[in-house]
Structure 1
């Protein structure tokens, strides 16, 4: 009965034609699968092990290598391991492959880290070491500076401004007009910072601020220092920086030497890159050559040593000899600042002796180089800043730039009575020292400076009561 039931059930399963066809396909599939598995795992025959030449096949060589590797692994394995801890050939191959991949990956990572580290070091060097700044950045900064300069001078009154800016070296091979150099020669606390900032506010001016700061708080009146000072000044006005490492080192410590050149500083100093580019001699040389005009303020070298600048026609120099009432100078040195303690700065006799020598040099230079030296009294500029500025610009050859007018409006109508501020109510500055200078100091200054005061038109007073401009300021008597 059981057999009959089984046959009947089987007949139901395979009864239909479709079901029988499916059954046949299933059987064939199982057969093929068994053949494949049998072929894959069958042992290598004697014929497959050795080729016709008697050499081992590549498969046999691989098996022998694996066997030797397995023996080495077994020898290197700890002796306390039991046979149960041995791995199969497949596991060993996987482990070896993983180790090789890991070593290769670590090698690549190590190389990548080294390259990235080198990039970081190079970047840090370029932000702190001027010599390490990449040439690409120098070139880019120069392009930016030139575009900025062209934007500033576009549409100005003098066409030679545009021509000089457009054909500026080194970004053009076209010859350009000579750069005009304006050198302010004076001494400490004589209003030179105001005059320098006024000229530097012009859109096309490159400013050399205090190039002799490396000599400290003293006057250079001769000797080897005067020769070195002359060389520095001449080279900077010629846009040559490479031979003046001490100047650049000093500028890195006293950043005002460069930062007061506002258009230059805004280009070479950035938050991301720092200011190393600003002290790179190649960049400074080529940036200097972009500008049609340059200014320089000198307060440590006496006027007679500037003669070589006028003798060199290639420099195209104009000198502005700036003087101030010695009573106002000494009051500013003793009342306004705290650093003026050296004899060259604190002694009124030294001040007025220098003023006398400078005046003699100025008169001789005016005779030898007509039209190249201009004598300017601080008081005249303070009493009539706009007209006196126009007169000064006519002498130097600069046009009255709109930014200069803005500068005068903002710096001559209000008082910011701080040591380095140039914002002053200009007319009140002429008599400012009268109420500040003690009677003892007043007598000392007038006693030491009587002769030179007369020549510059500064009138002596006996008291500080009821003093007006006319009481202290007369006409120039230079001869």
Structure 2
């Protein structure tokens, strides 16, 4: 028998004898009770005994499970670090329909409700850039592409939609007890967690608990802000998150010119094997579907749903980021301004880098795609491009010279 099993056997016996003793004192044989004088039973001492027994159980459990002790020690240091990060924060205090006036109002561990900011989009639409802009906000807990384990697919309905939504809701509620698959996925794929700096810093030091769901739940519950980007969940499914009033999420649909999307995907070796990623017809059918759903969501959730095109964000990042922060109910913190200062002026790094000349980044397709490729995309995407305000290229010369973006209006 293991030490744990032996220990719990002893605990069971202890509780049994305690209860037996209590029963015997109160309900002893009639003949004995008839002749004995009535003496008050010291109930409080029995309660103290049981309480002490339970305390010893917890202490022994911590000895048997050293991971729990490590998790408790880690969590004891985090509140002060988060409080320091929020030292100069301007709380909404009624603005943006958010009543929070102090840190405790936003922390789940103290019965508060965090601000939850979501991005819904598809691969190579600028979500890494926008996600990092949100992650520049202090004390933000970033759920980076939580559906990575679903592979290169777009989730449009059954059979996987229910599972995907449960994962997303569990993460936003910091409930990791049913997310072993999600946590295990990150064990050999560091990119699943590396974009969350608060989490990854601790994982590098405490690898022994990094893949323990209790560790993730405990850490997540301490943070006043959560952000998440979803590139696999279509808006028709994601809208269910807006319907959950307890979550109170604020959602942005990020849209990009399909020619830019498909040109950018050519650089990724994981994309071509999947039709959901490489087929222009499927990509543009999703853009059409998202448009139709967005029209309805703007009517239903005018303060909690918003649409932005990647091209507009890139051409005037300071204006649009400040507007997005207000929409999400976030203070446009100096750290966010510093991120824009350092990430929008020049190109650095590879194809996944967010250091970009932002005014040029969305339009590389005009010079990197042959007109024949552009023409094929436009044939499959005429409706999507008309809905979202993208102008068709007429020929190879026109392609390199024209402005492919015009205004659009969300209405049917």
Fold match by TM threshold 0.5: yes
Whether contact under 8 Å (1:154, 1:162) holds in the other structure is no
Q: Distance in 2 between matches of 1:469 and 1:411?
A: 26
CA shift at 1:195, angstroms?
0.6
- Please state how far the C-alpha of 1:249 moved relative to its aligned partner: 1.1
**Structure-2 change in CA distance of 1:438 and 1:133 (3 Å):** farther
CA distance in 2, matches of 1:143, 1:470: 58
Q: Once the 2 structures are TM-superposed, how far is the Cα of residue 253 of structure 1 from its aligned partner?
A: 2.2
2:215, 2:101 → 1: CA distance?
22
Q: CA RMSD in A?
A: 2.1
**Equivalent in the alignment of 2:37:** none
Contact preservation (8 Å) 2:265, 2:277: yes
The change in CA–CA distance for 1:283 and 1:383 in structure 2 (over 3 A counts) is same
**Higher deviation after alignment, 223-232 or 459-468:** 459-468
Q: Deviations over 1:420-441 (max 9, x none)?
A: 1111100011322100011121
- Aligned pairs for 1:197-212 (under 5 A) are 197-212=132-147
In structure 2, what is the equivalent of residue 244 of structure 1? 179
Q: Which shows bigger deviation, 237-246 or 137-146?
A: 137-146
Query: Pick from 137, 160, 163: which aligns with 1:225?
Result: 160
- Greater fraction of residues in helix: 1
- Give the TM-score of the pair, scaled to structure 1: 0.68
- CA change 1:166–1:140 in 2 (3 A) is farther
1:431 matched residue in structure 2 = 363
What are the ranges of 5 or more consecutive residues in structure 2 without an aligned counterpart? 1-63, 94-99
* 1:72 equivalent in structure 2: none
Question: Hey, what does 1:137 align to over in structure 2?
Answer: 70
**Equivalent position of 2:24 in the other structure:** none
Contact 2:174 2:220 in 1 (8 A): yes
Please list, as runs of the form range in 1=range in 2, the aligned pairs for 1:142-221 lying within 5 A after superposition: 142-158=75-91, 163-164=102-103, 168-170=107-109, 174-176=110-112, 178-221=113-156
Instruction: Please tell me whether residue 262 in structure 1 is matched to residue 197 in structure 2.
Output: yes
Distance 1:166 1:141 in 2: 22
SS for the counterpart of 1:476 is coil
Q: Alpha carbons of 1:356 and 1:159: their partners in 2 closer, same or farther (altered >3 Å)?
A: closer
1:106 aligns with: none
Partner Cα separation in structure 1 for residue 182 and residue 111 of structure 2: 30
Q: Deviations over 1:176-233 (max 9, x none)?
A: 3x21111111000000011111101111211101111111111112112111111111
Deviation at 1:133, TM superposition (A): 5.3
Q: State whether structure 2 residue 324 is matched by structure 1 residue 374.
A: no
Residue 290 of structure 1: how far off its partner (Å): 1.1
Shift of 1:142: 1.5
Post-superposition CA distance 1:319-352 (Å, at most 9, x none) = 1100000000010011x22221111111111000
Contact 1:323 1:377 in 2 (8 A): yes
Aligned equivalents of 1:440, 1:242: Cα separation in 2 = 51
> Structure 1 residues 232 and 167, CA, compared in 2 at 3 Å: closer, same or farther?
closer
Normalising by the residue count of structure 2, what TM-score does the alignment of the two structures yield? 0.79
Question: How far apart are 1:132 and its partner, in Å?
Answer: 6.0
Q: Does 1:281 align with 2:213?
A: yes
Whether the 8 Å CA contact 1:456–1:476 is kept in 2: the answer is yes
* Per-residue deviation, residues 19-70 of structure 1 (Å, max 9, x unmatched): xxxxxxxxxxxxxxxxxxxxxxxxxxxxxxxxxxxxxxxxxxxxxxxxxxxx
Aligned length: 342
Contact 1:206 1:261 in 2 (8 A): yes
1:457 aligns with 2:392: no
CA distance in 2, matches of 1:133, 1:200: 32
